[in-house]
């Protein structure tokens, strides 16, 4: 703070930043794509950034230390929810050793959240990142949590905005949610997902050839659409009806599905119904793919489709998969939901269709298939990278770094 006697004082930029999490680096993308992406971009600007997290969703990571894309990562040994105090103590011990100037919490949820609350009481400024609607109306309603877990997650998410030193929000929906929960406009930074520079250039300019062959993608005389997904944003019924309508108008088109659901339920439903309708031959299932292969796979397809139901979860999220597809240059048809609109408005590269309407998506796909302009000619947009946003994050850190000490 400053007054006339001391002169103006510019808040110092925090040099040591600890990013706290509640998930492993993989398979979810919050830590690998978002936290590590921001961390690497800030480290390239001279900051000392580290990640400490509880890999409850990937037990093989427990107790491991390593560098992820050049960023030091610490995983607690304790991961069981019933031993949460021990996991939190490990995070606090790591923080005590590192002595951060600022903590950036990724998701107001679970173990990392509890550790961040202790650190803030000790005087460390805490910025909270919101990249999903975690509480009631969002993932609380979707995942099989106990009633105690639901109440805890709802309290964690809703109590931070009025007390945190700052909020980073991955979507306009979450930005407004933070305001509604008590955060002032200056306390919230709209920070949609980006790609790491290396990943973006790998997708845009890759000459990589997959180690595992995909002979189905090399058959002549077929046009291919790409669906790159975990099957969480839409229903199986949508895909079945989309494929039926598409094949009626374009019998020469196959749908390539890269990815899988958590439990296989969606794929089973799609296989069963498409087989009964004699549409199963129009599907090419790739399962999980090596991320390095995505650029090559996109180049074997004409259009990518990104369907979203119009739900609170989907309006709140910011799809890295959509951004990756845009980086490859493949034309995209995406449901007009939440950040999908923002991405296509900012970066171009595709068409929007009304959510929940398979026929609208088919119409947009056919428009792109019939377009005279060759695909994959759109130049790479450098604003898709975290490097381009690092200065914005840095300024926000500087403005927030003394808030809890004032």
Query: pLDDT by residue (tens digit) across 368-393?
Result: 999 855 555 455 566 789 999 999 99
Count the domains in the chain: 2
- Give the pLDDT of residue 5: 39
**Per-residue confidence band for 262, with pLDDT thresholds at 50, 70 and 90:** confident
Is 186 part of any domain?
A: yes
**Per-residue confidence band for 187, with pLDDT thresholds at 50, 70 and 90:** very high
Q: How far apart are CA 380 and CA 366, in angstroms?
A: 24
DSSP class per residue in 132-193: S--STTTHHHHS---HHHHHHHHHHHHHSTTTSSEEEESSHHHHHHHHHTT--GGGEEE---
Q: What is the CATH number of the domain that holds 240?
A: 3.40.50.2000
Burial of 85 (0-12, 13-18, 19+ CB in 10 A): exposed
Q: Which is nearest to 228 in space by CA: 318, 147, 332, 143?
A: 332
Is 11 part of any domain?
A: no
Cα dist from 148 to 110, 137, 151, whole Å: 12, 16, 5
Question: Does the pLDDT value for residue 9 go beyond 80?
Answer: no
Question: Does the pLDDT value for residue 404 go beyond 80?
Answer: no
Residues 249 and 307 in one domain: yes
- Give the pLDDT of residue 7: 44
- High-pLDDT (> 70) share of the chain, %: 93
- Residue 74 · residue 94 · CB < 8 Å: yes
The domain containing residue 36 runs over which residues?
A: 16-193+386-405
Residues 352 and 398 in one domain: no
Q: How far apart are CA 192 and CA 27, in angstroms?
A: 20
- Give the pLDDT of residue 4: 40
Higher pLDDT, residue 134 or 400: 134
Question: Does the pLDDT value for residue 402 go beyond 70?
Answer: no
Cα dist from 286 to 41, 242, 269, 275, 367, whole Å: 32, 19, 17, 17, 26
Question: Does the pLDDT value for residue 359 go beyond 60?
Answer: yes
With DSSP H G I counted as helix, E B as strand and the rest as coil, what are the percentages for the chain, rounded to 5? 45, 15, 40
DSSP class per residue in 350-379: EEEE-TT-HHHHHHHHHHHHT-SSPTT-SP
pTM of the entire structure? 0.92
Residues 148 and 225 in one domain: no
Is 156 part of any domain?
A: yes
Q: Cα dihedral angle (209, 212, 217, 219), rounded to 10 degrees?
A: 100
**Per-residue confidence band for 3, with pLDDT thresholds at 50, 70 and 90:** very low
Q: 289: helix, coil or strand?
A: coil
Is 329 part of any domain?
A: yes
Whether cis (ω within 30° of 0) applies to the bond prior to 27 is: yes
- Give the pLDDT of residue 380: 57
Higher pLDDT, residue 349 or 78: 78
Question: Does the pLDDT value for residue 406 go beyond 50?
Answer: no
- Give the pLDDT of residue 379: 55
Q: How far apart are CA 273 and CA 241, in angstroms?
A: 10
Question: Does the pLDDT value for residue 318 go beyond 70?
Answer: yes
Is 4 part of any domain?
A: no
Residues 156 and 243 in one domain: no
Q: How far apart are CA 103 and CA 74, in angstroms?
A: 15
Is 3 part of any domain?
A: no
Residues 110 and 184 in one domain: yes
Residues 165 and 45 in one domain: yes
Residues 117 and 240 in one domain: no
Is 92 part of any domain?
A: yes
Residues 401 and 293 in one domain: no
Residues 67 and 160 in one domain: yes
- Give the pLDDT of residue 348: 86
Question: Does the pLDDT value for residue 100 go beyond 90?
Answer: yes
Is 9 part of any domain?
A: no
Mean pLDDT of 317-333: 95
Residues 221 and 187 in one domain: no
Residues 45 and 23 in one domain: yes
Query: pLDDT by residue (tens digit) across 108-162?
Result: 999 999 999 999 999 999 999 999 999 999 999 999 999 999 999 999 999 999 9
The b-or-e profile of 49-65 (16+ CB within 10 A means b, else e) is bbbbbbbbeeeebbeee
Residues 178 and 36 in one domain: yes
């Amino acid at each position: 703070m400053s007054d006339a006697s001391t002169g103006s004082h510019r808040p110092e930029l925090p040099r040591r930043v600890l990013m706290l999490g509640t998930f492993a680096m993989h398979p979810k993308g919050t830590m690998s794509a978002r936290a590590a992406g921001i961390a690497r971009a800030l480290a390239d600007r001279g900051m000392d950034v580290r990640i400490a997290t509880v890999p409850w969703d990937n037990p093989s990571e427990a107790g491991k230390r390593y560098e992820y894309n050049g960023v030091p990562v610490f995983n607690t040994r304790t991961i069981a929810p019933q031993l949460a105090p021990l996991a939190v103590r490990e995070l606090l011990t790591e923080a005590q050793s590192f002595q951060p100037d600022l903590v950036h919490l990724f998701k107001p949820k679970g173990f990392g959240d509890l550790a961040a609350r202790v650190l803030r009481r000790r005087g460390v400024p805490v910025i909270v990142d919101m990249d999903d609607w975690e509480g009631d109306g969002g993932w609380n309603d979707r995942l099989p949590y106990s009633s105690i877990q639901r109440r805890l997650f709802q309290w964690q998410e809703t109590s931070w905005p009025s007390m945190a030193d700052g909020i980073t929000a991955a979507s306009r929906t979450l930005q407004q949610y933070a305001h509604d929960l008590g955060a002032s406009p200056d306390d919230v930074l709209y920070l949609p997902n980006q790609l790491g520079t290396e990943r973006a250039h790998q997708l845009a300019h890759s000459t990589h050839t997959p180690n595992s062959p995909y002979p189905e993608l090399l058959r002549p005389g077929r046009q291919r659409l790409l669906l790159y997904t975990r099957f969480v944003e839409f229903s199986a019924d949508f895909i079945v009806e989309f494929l039926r309508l598409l094949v009626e108008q374009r019998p020469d088109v196959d749908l390539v599905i890269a990815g899988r659901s958590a439990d296989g339920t969606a794929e089973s439903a799609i296989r069963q119904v498409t087989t009964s309708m004699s549409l199963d031959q129009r599907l090419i299932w790739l399962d999980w793919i090596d991320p390095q292969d995505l650029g090559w796979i996109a180049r074997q397809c004409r259009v990518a489709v990104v369907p979203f139901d119009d739900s609170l979860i989907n309006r709140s999220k910011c799809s890295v998969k959509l951004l990756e597809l845009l980086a490859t240059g493949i034309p995209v048809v995406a449901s007009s939901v939440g950040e999908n609109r923002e991405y296509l408005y900012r970066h171009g590269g595709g068409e929007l269709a009304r959510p929940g309407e398979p026929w609208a998506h088919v119409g947009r796909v056919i428009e792109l298939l019939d377009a005279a302009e060759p695909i994959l000619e759109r130049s790479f947009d450098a604003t898709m990278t975290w490097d381009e946003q690092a200065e914005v994050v840095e300024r926000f850190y500087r403005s927030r770094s003394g808030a809890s000490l004032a």
